[in-house]
Structure 1
Amino acid sequence: MNGNDITALGFTGKAVGLALQAARSRAGAGVPDHDITTELAHVQHHPETFTDDPDYAELARELLALQARVPDTLRDKPLPYRQWGEDLIEESARAQMDTAMRLPVSVAGALMPDAHFGYGLPIGGVLATDNAVIPYGVGVDIGCSMRLSVLPIEHLERDEEMRLLRRNTRFGAGGSWERKVRPDHEVLDEDTWREFPLLRQLRDKAAEQIGTSGSGNHFVEFGTLSIEKSDLGLQPGQYLALLSHSGSRGFGAQVAGHYTKVAQNLHPKLDLEARKLAWLDMSREEGQAYWAAMELAGRYALANHEVIHERVARALKVTPLVAVSNSHNLAWRQQLPDGREAIVHRKGATPAAQGQLGIIPGSMADPGFVVRGKGNSQALESASHGAGRQLGRKQAERTLDRKAVARLLEERGVTLLGGGIDEAPQAYKRIEEVLARQADLVDVVAKFTPRVVRMDSGKEDI
């Protein structure tokens, strides 16, 4: 066995070397590799029974020391937290948030009006923790984000908008650009890629997918931006705009999967209902490594948007008048109202500090909004990241009528390229209702009305 084999079992930090040392000792005694793997798993999950074992005692003590830092025991009751749009939030999302607020590392939280059930932390959940980061508190699509570019063009024909989106965007779980036209970006040259083995392995995949969008609710669309206030530095009026929603692609997903497993292995006794909320200590190597990878994935996701918008602008031979972007699947170091610093996870929530601009989209047929944050401390300076689902994907595929969806798109004047029935407007809450529930979190400064929308094709195309 080698170090990679040990790491694949979920050992991290100092425990990797101790596990490798123990494995070599057992191999020297003639124990087969598959038996050693089984033994290591037992040590990992029950280190207290190996503290006197001649081969595994040192490893067991290190694992116990890790566990002793913060007990895995949940609080009896969740800490109190505010909900916005409580009448719009499903009970399963509240139950997930309750579990998150019972974590021993949690210190504050909030639930946005677009909240719905997710993995670990609910989508629309905001969670502050003490010196700990939760990979599933950030989400699988690390750095999922929005970007809007206001273009200096009064009008484009619909056929031209369709052509531009087809030529300058790529979608799908494995989507990438052909090698001869593959774009580049300075984020791919950052030193962080070389600092950790996992990032070195993922850099080539990230380079293949730069400037592309995933599946699900990711999109690139042309539409009309109606500016109501001068926050964007432009006069009130109507403008042509490009809006995109994308994330960190396969790179971010693999970072999330790897470090979630690491966190779960560090907390083997964590209650089953909180298993996906296992955390990493920020003072230890594992937490620092995830944080570096997470921040890189956030920058990479924003770079994807930049490439997409630059390609379209270059094809039009224009420079955007202004651009706005924000991430809504990330963790930040943030000072709480009581003065202490915490790690604030926003999983499907838009940062909304005082004066901060952000984007809250609706659906393929509903408007999106540029907003200005009010810095509400009870919401941990956050707002919703969209309308939020009211039908799960499978439920939408089973129950929605494709002809009715097509009629709605036609009524709204929306041309759809791709897009599955699971992303139909009827699968989402009404964005106007969601915005109405958070008037104390954000002000609306502009409204984006979609016209030509490109998405990945779902299982059941509309």
Structure 2
Amino acid sequence: MPQGGAIAMPYETLNLTTTAPVLSWANHELGSQEIKMAKNVASLPFVFKHVALMPDVHLGKGALVGSVIATQDAIIPAAVGVDIGCGMCAIKTPFTATQLEGKLKKIRQDIEAVIPVGFNENKTVEKTVSNWQRWADFKQLHPGIQDLQVKAMRQMGSLGGGNHFIEICLDTEDQVWVMLHSGSRNIGNKLAQCHISTGKELAKLANNKLPDPDLAYFVAGTPEFDAYWHDLQWAQNYARVNREVMMARVQRIVEQYLAGGKLTKPLLSVNCHHNYAEKETHYGEAVYVTRKGAVRARAGDYGIIPGSMGAKSYIVQGKGNAESYCSCSHGAGRLMSRTKAKGVYSLDDLIQQTEGVECRKDAGVLDEIPGAYKPIEQVMANQADLVEVVATLKQVVCIKG
């Protein structure tokens, strides 16, 4: 059991015959496909100690979204995923709710005008982006992406699509927050695909019988491992800076409307990945920790756990729970696929479920309807031993990718 005092919802050890146990904070029965995916990962010989499943766990590619996988001397590119470094950024501003009155639509329109969404990119490259020191390393990245530097530069400071978003929120004290969700854009996707392909080719050549081809891995000390690890760190840095560039733009817009353009300092800033891998020490051993849809939650670490475009979100601090590899969930987690959501819900449902939020209310975002996600309150209750809530937020403006 997790260390510390009394807990609301401890994990359970799944009844599986695997090399490593699987600990789940989901507090619900996993489906047959989810069980199979968990077994596949936990059966790999290099998995360390156990696999941890977060409360928002659901199907992914190769590994479950919402899983934390510690490995010794190996890394699985598809477990990290194709949106390397995807994560969240939030700032607590010095402004209050009354200052927003009558300005929400204009703020939303101005944000949409300066931050490209979907597949779009910036028309010009701003100085903050062109001055990023890590562009000097671009030529050392995988040969398969060498013609993408200009695109990567133009996409830095862009949101992307799917469940990526920018929100203006209020906390329970009516303080204004800005929050956004994005990752490493096309360049991270392409880098991931290149290395995933290499991993699968190596597995075939070695006649390595994997439970799932998407669990192809690299062994530490090999050129392939070193190349992937180098590119992974670069893409994770890109993702973090991408969020910083967008946040600076949104902050300036908010300042224009709420402070007459006067520069302000955030009262709190958080920027955290939830699709990434790092080398960490757990149980006294140096291991590679892959968080696929999970946030690092060491004691005192700030994290962000968003709901959906009509639900609450949470700023949290980690409790350093060892069994979770000091991790927590990255959101509510999908309850149904995008296709199913479009079949189940109507535009009227979307309008009803996003009442009071200044946002798009059209067929293009129907798959992001709040009803397609798990109830965020339950997800939070299931990880009371992993994090404590610092602030509870509710959006008043939402821009979807």
Provide TM-score, normalisation by structure 1.
0.76
Number of the residue aligned with 1:295: 233
Question: In structure 2, how many angstroms separate the alpha carbons of the residues matched to 1:100 and 1:106?
Answer: 8
1:246 pairs with one of 182, 194, 206: 182
**Mean Cα displacement is larger for which, 317-326 or 370-379?**
317-326
Number of the residue aligned with 2:93: 151
Q: Is contact 1:193–1:199 with CA below 8 Å preserved after alignment?
A: no
Change in 2 beyond 3 A, CA 1:187/1:145: farther
Question: In structure 1, how many angstroms separate the alpha carbons of the residues matched to 2:39 and 2:334?
Answer: 20
Question: In structure 2, how many angstroms separate the alpha carbons of the residues matched to 1:170 and 1:450?
Answer: 20
Q: Is contact 2:359–2:398 with CA below 8 Å preserved after alignment?
A: yes
Summarize the alignment of residues 5-24 of structure 1 with structure 2, pairs less than 5 Å apart. Answer: none
1:225 pairs with one of 148, 165, 171: 171
Number of the residue aligned with 2:149: 203
Does residue 264 of structure 1 match 2:200? yes
Number of the residue aligned with 2:10: none
1:397: how far off? 1.3
Does residue 313 of structure 1 match 2:251? yes
Structure 1 unaligned blocks of 5 or more: 1-74, 227-236, 457-462
1:215 pairs with one of 161, 178, 182: 161
Change in 2 beyond 3 A, CA 1:152/1:77: closer
Q: Is contact 1:389–1:429 with CA below 8 Å preserved after alignment?
A: yes
Provide TM-score, normalisation by structure 2.
0.87
Q: Is contact 1:182–1:208 with CA below 8 Å preserved after alignment?
A: no
| Greater fraction helix | 1
Summarize the alignment of residues 233-382 of structure 1 with structure 2, pairs less than 5 Å apart. Answer: 237-268=173-204, 269-271=207-209, 273-315=211-253, 316=255, 317=261, 318-321=263-266, 322-337=268-283, 339-382=284-327
Number of the residue aligned with 2:359: 416
Question: In structure 1, how many angstroms separate the alpha carbons of the residues matched to 2:171 and 2:232?
Answer: 32
Number of the residue aligned with 2:6: none
Q: Is contact 2:85–2:236 with CA below 8 Å preserved after alignment?
A: yes
1:409: how far off? 1.1
Number of the residue aligned with 1:445: 390
SS at structure 1 position matched to 2:148: helix
Render the CA deviation track for 1:319-351: whole Å, top value 9, x for unaligned: 3423111000000111121x1111110000010
Structure 2 unaligned blocks of 5 or more: 1-15, 256-260
Question: In structure 1, how many angstroms separate the alpha carbons of the residues matched to 2:167 and 2:368?
Answer: 14
1:102: how far off? 0.6
Change in 2 beyond 3 A, CA 1:88/1:448: farther
Number of the residue aligned with 2:4: none
**Letter in structure 1 aligned against 2:68:** V
Q: Is contact 2:305–2:329 with CA below 8 Å preserved after alignment?
A: yes
Q: Number of aligned pairs?
A: 368
Does residue 94 of structure 1 match 2:30? no
Q: Is contact 1:89–1:113 with CA below 8 Å preserved after alignment?
A: no
Question: In structure 1, how many angstroms separate the alpha carbons of the residues matched to 2:31 and 2:359?
Answer: 29
1:169: how far off? 1.6
| Greater fraction strand | 2
**Letter in structure 1 aligned against 2:357:** V
SS at structure 2 position matched to 1:177: coil
Change in 2 beyond 3 A, CA 1:112/1:91: farther
Question: In structure 1, how many angstroms separate the alpha carbons of the residues matched to 2:136 and 2:220?
Answer: 21
2:22 pairs with one of 81, 91, 101: 81
Change in 2 beyond 3 A, CA 1:81/1:153: same
1:109: how far off? 1.3
**Mean Cα displacement is larger for which, 307-316 or 139-148?**
307-316
Does residue 121 of structure 1 match 2:36? no
Render the CA deviation track for 1:44-66: whole Å, top value 9, x for unaligned: xxxxxxxxxxxxxxxxxxxxxxx
**Letter in structure 2 aligned against 1:314:** R
Structure number, greater radius of gyration? 1
2:78 pairs with one of 136, 143, 147: 136
Question: In structure 2, how many angstroms separate the alpha carbons of the residues matched to 1:240 and 1:185?
Answer: 31
1:198: how far off? 4.0
1:366: how far off? 0.5
1:238: how far off? 2.9
**Letter in structure 1 aligned against 2:245:** V
Number of the residue aligned with 1:111: 53
Change in 2 beyond 3 A, CA 1:253/1:180: closer
Question: In structure 1, how many angstroms separate the alpha carbons of the residues matched to 2:185 and 2:358?
Answer: 25
Q: Is contact 1:183–1:211 with CA below 8 Å preserved after alignment?
A: no
**Letter in structure 2 aligned against 1:147:** C
Render the CA deviation track for 1:370-408: whole Å, top value 9, x for unaligned: 111011111111100000001011111111122112112
Question: In structure 2, how many angstroms separate the alpha carbons of the residues matched to 1:389 and 1:101?
Answer: 23
1:282: how far off? 2.1
**Letter in structure 2 aligned against 1:450:** Q
